Amino acid sequence: MIDPVLSLACALVLAWIFIAAGAHKFHDPARFGAALGAYGLLPEVLVRPAALLLPLGEFMIAFGLLFPQARSIAAWSSVLLIGAYTLAIGINLLRGRRNIDCGCGDPGRRQPLSEWLLLRNALLMGAGALAAAAPFARVAGWLDWTVAALAAIALGLIHGACNQLLSNRHRLANLGSTHG
């Protein structure tokens, strides 16, 4: 059992991340479908339906994380989905296919596969497990909600900054190779 503030903060940041990820994928399903197909793990006939269904699943997880009655199921679902994404990244890294766009960033930010994505996803799966954990039996007051919301915002900003650094890392490497 954990403090309800920690569980709530993890649920809120994951909801934020899944809403943003789903929105990017939903907004440009062709781009996400191309990224998904590049992994080479699904039969071609399933790539387009998966590109349409995965963002819906992410929205459902985000929605579930916001309600205490559904939080545990949604949190474990987030762990499973991020775990599936992590497995796909890991398989392609083992194949030596690093130039694939992970498909997890917004349309203007290409993120090639790297071990850093595995670490990021492991941390997100840990947050999912914390969000799923049963909180101590105490009523969360307004101060708890405020702290949880501020912690979720801070964690969300750290997540966004890390994603930007991963994207910039690729861009800087390409810049150095074209001008070096």
Predicted model pTM: 0.85
Inter-residue contact 125 to 82 (CB < 8 Å):
yes
Q: Which amino acid is at 137?
A: A
Q: What is the pLDDT of residues 98-138, one digit of tens each?
A: 988 888 866 666 788 999 999 999 999 999 999 999 877 77
pLDDT of residue 96: 95
Residue pLDDT tens, the chain, 180 long: 888 889 999 999 999 999 999 999 999 889 999 999 999 999 999 999 999 999 999 999 999 999 999 999 999 999 999 999 999 999 999 999 998 888 886 666 678 899 999 999 999 999 999 999 987 777 778 888 788 888 888 888 888 877 777 777 666 666 666 655
Do 17 and 141 meet the contact criterion of CB atoms below 8 Å apart? no
Instruction: Look up tokens 């994603």; give the residue.
Output: 163
